[in-house]
Structure 1
Amino acid sequence: MTGGAGFLGRPLVRALAERGKRVLSLDRRVPEADPIPGVTGIEGDVTDSGGIERLLREHAVDEIVHAAAIVGVTASVAGLADTVRVNIDGSVALFEAVTRAGGVRRLVDLSSEEVYGHFAADPVAEDTPALPVSPYGITKYAVERLGGYYADQHELPYVAARLCWVYGPGFPRLRLPQPWLEDALAGRPSRLAAGGDHHIDLTYLDDVVDGILLVLRAGHLEHRAYNVATGSAVGIRDLAAEIARQHPGWSVDLGDGPIEMAPGVAAARKGALDITRARTLGYAPRFTLAEGLARTAAGLDAPARQAV
């Protein structure tokens, strides 16, 4: 597992270990607290192809989830060169290592709805032409195309899991619904200058873990990309209404129009992801928006941060 100490990586390695797998977790940092039984944390850089190859051979790795990345539109706008280095160069380094080492039956790359750019349909299916508009989406789609190249030319067992606005306890960035829940728990109102017209497929963390594991453990796969989301879009105003229902007294001053991912950077037009392909693998989201928000709030300690 690359990026095994991250928001998605840590619950994934825990879930794999609980299923009896021997797990290697590669990340730039290894958590010192709360070690997970059955998980070996390894400090390293995903761009170090030689080091990864040695790990693959030494531990006879047969399955990989690739989660190491600089994540999000905001981060990619702020640091494009680093995003290209980690997301694209790091992925190619991994693909090269896997190709040289051999023995890997599947590599699941965690991709993003950002590859679609402005959604041409709602829901959007995997065969919709990818026209990413953000630096993050462009790097993710580049990795998918490179993964396909290595699959065709070098038999890399590559498949992409396209995720969409995953949320849950421990989310590390100020993206909805996290800041609103933190404000609600701290007893302060929220403000969002624009975004009331935005719709997005918000997916609770545990559902995403379920979907990724199904893609990883499936037998023959018919496709190289699978949407892993809920299949339904939530309006930002509906999100606000549900948080207000669960936290009476909280309110938000919410402007109209598309949401901004960074100052002056409007989000692409979104909607729901079609999860028909994932359902053929047995995927079925378990958590409603209300349940996911309640579980997320229960895991927060209401840090004193300002919402954006």
Structure 2
Amino acid sequence: MRVHLVTGAGGLVGRAVTARLRARGDRVVGIDRNASGDGQERVIDCDLRDTHRLHQFAAGQGLDTIIHCGAHSGPMVARDNPYDLVAVNVVGTANVLEVARIHRVRRFVNCSSVSVYGSTKAGPVPEDTALHPGTVYGATKLAAEHLATAYAREHGLDAVSLRLSWVYGPNRTTSCLLRRMVADALEGRPTRVEWGADFYRQYIHADDAAAALVAAVDAPSVARRVYNVTGGSYQTLAETAECVRRVLPQAEISLAPGRDPGDDVQHRFDISAAEQDLGYVPAVALEDGIRSFAEALKMQSR
């Protein structure tokens, strides 16, 4: 039985990764600074900045892989505390990489973000595009990528980073316009936004993100150190709102033209490398994902 350390196991992506690995019989040591659950599903309390505690949980486990999902999870999180963004996303990643090096794990899979690109020119956008992150968050994810790649080159650690687009799903708790649209519709509130009708955003369901990360765990070898991973769709927020209305006809959504003032302007990302090397193909269509998202929110409100 393979043993994996999953950081951020209580979060949106980490939870989905943990569930997928356990469902096939693997053992997961799941850590998060917001511990939860009990029994087999228990997530252990551990801050990425606590190096001694990280090594304590890794020692004697016979770890095969580390899947590093732990981080401040988007440019909207900790925006007013950039120092903590760096401490968690950069120093925290360095700490976990040290665990991987010292305990000689077979592979280190890093959960990165398309925020490393900043705003892009015409797509499709491949992985070797010049990177100009427009946020501190994006800069921290790029720094984490560079650390992982440097550990691969200097210390022989087999490390790979997956650049995920906007992740959504039933367990999303941080700010997300798609979640707001769905929640407002379920609660009979209108959604009014002063931007976004013509703004493109690429979503990926947490289950697809987890599938890609596990595919990176399982690949006999990886041909590159970074991969783009999205849900496959590239559409405006107005088109996304139409998907919400098809699932929830009561949804009353009004979007004005203009870009999201807190996000980069990005074009379609090329995911052909992940398809070819990892066998990754998005499985959750956006409308289906919105439907399951709505059902989960209904259950949570009961």
When normalised by structure 1's length, the TM-score is 0.91
Within the candidate set 268, 280, 285, 2:264 is matched to 268
Where does structure 2 lack aligned partners over 5 or more consecutive residues? Answer: 1-5
Q: Does residue 13 in structure 1 map to residue 18 in structure 2?
A: yes
Moved more, 118-127 or 14-23: 118-127
> For residues 250 and 231 of structure 1, what CA distance do their matches in structure 2 show?
24
CA deviation vs aligned residue, 1:272-294 (integer Å, no higher than 9, x gap)? 22111111121111121111111
Task: Name the residue aligned to 1:114.
Answer: 115
Moved more, 119-128 or 20-29: 119-128
Where does structure 1 lack aligned partners over 5 or more consecutive residues? Answer: 262-266
> For residues 143 and 170 of structure 1, what CA distance do their matches in structure 2 show?
25
Within the candidate set 282, 294, 300, 1:297 is matched to 294
C-alpha displacement at 1:302, in angstroms? Answer: 8.5
C-alpha displacement at 1:53, in angstroms? Answer: 2.3
Q: Residues 168 and 296 of structure 1 are in contact (CA less than 8 Å); yes or no, is this contact kept in structure 2?
A: yes
Q: Residues 199 and 258 of structure 2 are in contact (CA less than 8 Å); yes or no, is this contact kept in structure 1?
A: yes
Letter in structure 2 aligned against 1:92: A
Counterparts of residues 154-165 of structure 1 (less than 5 Å): 154-165=155-166
Relative distance call for 1:6 and 1:36 in structure 2 (3 A) is farther
Task: Name the residue aligned to 1:54.
Answer: 56
Q: Does residue 81 in structure 1 map to residue 83 in structure 2?
A: yes
Relative distance call for 1:271 and 1:189 in structure 2 (3 A) is same
SS in 1 for 2:43: strand
Letter in structure 1 aligned against 2:9: G
Q: Residues 50 and 97 of structure 1 are in contact (CA less than 8 Å); yes or no, is this contact kept in structure 2?
A: no
C-alpha displacement at 1:248, in angstroms? Answer: 1.9
> For residues 9 and 63 of structure 2, what CA distance do their matches in structure 1 show?
15
Relative distance call for 1:302 and 1:190 in structure 2 (3 A) is farther
Relative distance call for 1:278 and 1:190 in structure 2 (3 A) is same
Letter in structure 1 aligned against 2:281: A
Q: Residues 185 and 302 of structure 1 are in contact (CA less than 8 Å); yes or no, is this contact kept in structure 2?
A: no
C-alpha displacement at 1:169, in angstroms? Answer: 0.6
> For residues 236 and 129 of structure 1, what CA distance do their matches in structure 2 show?
26
> For residues 99 and 190 of structure 2, what CA distance do their matches in structure 1 show?
49
Letter in structure 1 aligned against 2:65: E
> For residues 25 and 65 of structure 2, what CA distance do their matches in structure 1 show?
14
Q: CA RMSD in A?
A: 1.7
Q: Residues 203 and 229 of structure 1 are in contact (CA less than 8 Å); yes or no, is this contact kept in structure 2?
A: yes
Letter in structure 1 aligned against 2:176: R
Task: Name the residue aligned to 1:264.
Answer: none
C-alpha displacement at 1:2, in angstroms? Answer: 0.6
Within the candidate set 267, 272, 285, 1:288 is matched to 285
CA deviation vs aligned residue, 1:210-265 (integer Å, no higher than 9, x gap)? 1111011101110001111123312111011121222223222211110133xxxx
Letter in structure 2 aligned against 1:41: V
**Identity, % of aligned pairs?**
33
How many residues align? The count is 295
Letter in structure 2 aligned against 1:296: F
SS in 2 for 1:8: helix
Counterparts of residues 176-255 of structure 1 (less than 5 Å): 176-255=177-256
CA deviation vs aligned residue, 1:70-102 (integer Å, no higher than 9, x gap)? 121122422101110000010111112222222
> For residues 228 and 4 of structure 1, what CA distance do their matches in structure 2 show?
20
> For residues 41 and 204 of structure 1, what CA distance do their matches in structure 2 show?
22
> For residues 247 and 95 of structure 1, what CA distance do their matches in structure 2 show?
44
> For residues 175 and 39 of structure 2, what CA distance do their matches in structure 1 show?
27
Task: Name the residue aligned to 1:133.
Answer: 134
> For residues 246 and 119 of structure 2, what CA distance do their matches in structure 1 show?
31
Moved more, 177-186 or 189-198: 189-198
Task: Name the residue aligned to 2:3.
Answer: none
> For residues 206 and 7 of structure 1, what CA distance do their matches in structure 2 show?
9
Letter in structure 1 aligned against 2:16: P
Q: Residues 88 and 139 of structure 1 are in contact (CA less than 8 Å); yes or no, is this contact kept in structure 2?
A: yes
Within the candidate set 29, 38, 41, 2:34 is matched to 29
> For residues 10 and 302 of structure 1, what CA distance do their matches in structure 2 show?
18
Letter in structure 1 aligned against 2:216: V
Letter in structure 1 aligned against 2:150: Y
C-alpha displacement at 1:36, in angstroms? Answer: 6.4
When normalised by structure 2's length, the TM-score is 0.93
